[in-house]
Chains A and B, each alone.
Chain A
Amino acid sequence: MLNLDQIKPGATVKVRKVSADGNLQRRILALGIIPGSTLEVIKVAPLGDPIEVKLRSSNLMIRKEEAQNISVEEIVN
């Protein structure tokens, strides 16, 4: 099982589990990153962190440290 911070740009993944704590957990879930949702990793910021992901029709940024809490599986096209 991989975490979101390990995914290379261009890949599409399915969220398996979100296991952060408190505020972070609630924020991630509220934005719609929930088990079963599909994310596309768009890019890594120029300085290497944070990363940008596409969820439905919106683009979100998330720090790698926080993305560690999101376990995902790659969807093979």
Chain B
Amino acid sequence: MHRNITYALVGNPNSGKTTLFNALTGSNQTIGNWPGVTVEKKTGKLVKHHDINIIDLPGLYSLSANSIEEVIASEALTDNPPDGIINIIDGTNLERNLYMTTQLLDLGLPLILAINMNDELESEGLALDPCLLAKRLGCPVVAISALKGKGLDELLDLLNTPETTLLPPRHQLTYGEDVEALVSKVSEVIGKAYPESQVRYWSFRALEKNFIGKLSPNQREQIQGLIAEYEKSHDDDIESTLALARYSKIDNIVSGSIQGERKSNLSITDRIDKIVTNRWLAIPIFVIIMIIVYGISVTTLGGMATDWTNDVLFGEIIPPAVEGFLQSINVAPWLESLIVEGIIGGVGAVLGFVPQMLVLFFMLAFLEASGYMARIAFIMDRIFRKWGLSGKSFIPLLIGSGCSVPGIMASRTIEEEKDRRMTVIVTSFIPCSAKLPVIGLFAGALMGGAWWVAPAAYFLGIAAVVVSGLILKKTKRFEGDPAPFVMELPTYRLPSLKTVLRSTWERGSSFIKKAGTVILLSSIVIWALTRFGIENGALATVDEIDNSFMAIIGNSIGWIFTPLGWHSWQSAVATITGLVAKENVVSTFGILFGMAEVSEAGNEIWPQVAAHFGVLGGFSFLMFNLLCIPCFAAVGAIKREMNSASWTWFAIGYQTVFAYGVSFVFYQVSLWLTGGGFTVVTFLALAVLALAVYLAVRKPAGKASSQLAKSEA
């Protein structure tokens, strides 16, 4: 018997939804994104019953279409309605969690209520009466503990007997005469714009002044008229009226369903927070936790694992072995080079990041599931929101100073899509460890290894983050209502190892799958451009990079960088090879200046580099390479997180334009200040600087007009 039934799993953030989803589906999961947005989409099949599908909708507090997550959920429930809804709610916050339940019941779809954290209620000496709730809500209610696996059998039985479970709610929740009269008037206006079963749901949405959907301007006007009339006669705004009606209904439903007295003394969470978010201790504790996260994922465990993968596994073990094998079967040298340097090198570039990322994701998953991540937002919000970022952007930026790739992937923990996208764009401005040799090369060549060059590079990175935040948050792509920052500080919980490990693996494998192809392909292309060229008038594999296609490209695009003070084909080539991995800039210069092997910071070629660039040109080149498109691996991570070609191109386009602008202004203005004379180009540089300042400080267009509207009203 093949039934092919789909349930949507819906619940508040921190209600234990992910744990329940994992328990219901086991390893039968597919993870992707909802189309065009950065929101994760998970689907799965019920354990032992693969004809029952479960779609995990994003965690939300309501269906009122406030955020992208809520729009996605609302569309998923109405455009192509599931056969039933599993609504998981946190039993320790029953009333707030039931708010969305009342909205879900408006949909008229079969609904199963799973009340989670029943073990916590019991340990507080409280007893929940699911039967009473079921009677009042008109749908099946099961008490479970997703973490401890209790009550899941009963839930599985319900899900597996769709004949009796998949029935519409036994009665409709009603909200008093006045509200119901208004709802039926609105329903009449809506008429056939929506399927009959959804009219009540959409009437409420329209009453909340949420006109996302299929209503004509005329219908909207009529509904607005009805709302205005109601607000006038009741002297209250309609949103408050509806929320009050829902909450008083919820109070009726809940009353008497929990037996026992709630202890009023401080909960464990309150006691932990007395220290962890304490006025004086919060920041020192935050710093210590960040040092631990960075220390483990970048400097020690994660760093060592990644170094081993890169230097030993993909350096000393696999390439020689493959080389030996290929030579033993007499493969052509160019094919050997393609396989060993191009393909294995490319695969190594992808996999090299994985161990470090797994270590980092493990810690992030722990911070999230334990509840500390929300406290980071609480502590850091004040600083970061000024730059269009979230308090949680701190972690991506911090990790980005080790490696941009896991840094960008870490942006996943940020709730708001705008903040997330902004973080993805700016993370690679922070110098990663691969940029350190490049900084070392120029500090040595230009300044005799002066101590201040590296700190200045970090300062440049931080300044780039701040300025970009200020500029970008006012652009069209980021404008619009700021997302409300009203959210929960969840109860501290010791996460289960299983949940943490699963989240770690999901993020790691999605990097390999989604970012891997970009990295691999671009590594092979760069390899081919460097290894092939025209020699003696014919296509050939070249030993000297001077004859390669790469040199031809360098020659033809070198002029672009003339205004930045460096226009040789060598510097263009080094910039391009730096896209494979930034430290390649040093080795490329080594080759171009006739040294086969150079040390990490290229000490052997310091004189040549100094002579080639000059001080101003050298710093300009360094700045450009620190800020422009990061390596392909980071671009792959950007693509993975943006989940949109347009946003990916926007990100790397912005980074490159920004880098070009900074280097241009730096070079031209310093040239002028050091006695180079004031020219048209100097004027142009000052104009670019003025434009950047204007873009950063101007009032956002959207906000100005909405304030105007407010003052008029």
Chain A residues close to B by CB (< 8 Å): 17-19, 21-37, 42-50, 52, 55-63, 66
Contacts and interface: CB of A to CB of B under 8 A. Distances in A.
Contacts of B95: 32, 56
Contacts of B486: 24, 27-28, 31, 33, 60-63, 66
Nearest to A33: B486
Interface of B: 61-62, 64, 66-67, 92-93, 95-96, 99-100, 208-210, 237, 239-240, 242-244, 247, 262, 267, 269-270, 273, 277-280, 282-283, 374, 377-383, 385, 481, 483-489, 710
Contacts of A30: 61-62, 64, 66, 99-100, 243
A64 to B, nearest CB: 10
Given A29-B242, A30-B62, A42-B273, 4 more contacts: A24-B486, A34-B243, A59-B273, A60-B487
Give the dominant DSSP class at A's interface: mixed
30 contacts: A19-B237, A23-B484, A25-B237, A25-B239, A26-B62, A26-B208, A26-B210, A27-B66, A29-B240, A30-B100, A32-B95, A32-B96, A33-B486, A35-B244, A45-B277, A49-B382, A50-B378, A58-B93, A58-B96, A58-B488, A59-B270, A59-B273, A59-B488, A60-B486, A60-B489, A61-B486, A61-B489, A62-B486, A66-B485, A66-B486
Contacts of A47: 379-380, 382-383
A56 B247 contact: no
Give the dominant DSSP class at B's interface: helix
A62 B483 CA distance: 12
A32 B247 contact: yes
A46 B282 contact: yes
Contact of B382 (A29, A31, A48): A48
A67 to B, nearest CB: 9
A32 B489 CA distance: 15
Contacts of B61: 27, 30-31
In this complex, the member of A30, A34, A45, A66 whose beta carbon has the largest number of chain B beta carbons within 10 angstroms is: A30
A26 B67 CA distance: 11
Contacts of A23: 66-67, 481, 483-484
A44 B277 CA distance: 9
Given A26-B239, A30-B99, A32-B95, A52 B489 contact: yes
A63 to B, nearest CB: 5
B339 to A, nearest CB: 54
In this complex, the member of B61, B95, B96, B278 whose beta carbon has the largest number of chain A beta carbons within 10 angstroms is: B96
A61 B378 contact: yes
Nearest to A51: B378
A30 B282 CA distance: 29
A45 B99 contact: no
Contacts of A22: 209, 481
B262 to A, nearest CB: 7
B268 to A, nearest CB: 12
Contacts of B378: 45, 50, 52, 61
Contacts of B382: 45, 47-50
A57 B93 contact: yes
B481 A46 contact: no
B68 to A, nearest CB: 11
B92 A57 contact: yes
Given A25-B239, A30-B61, A50 B244 contact: no
B487 A56 contact: no
Nearest to B99: A30
Given A29-B243, A30-B64, A62-B485, A52 B379 contact: no
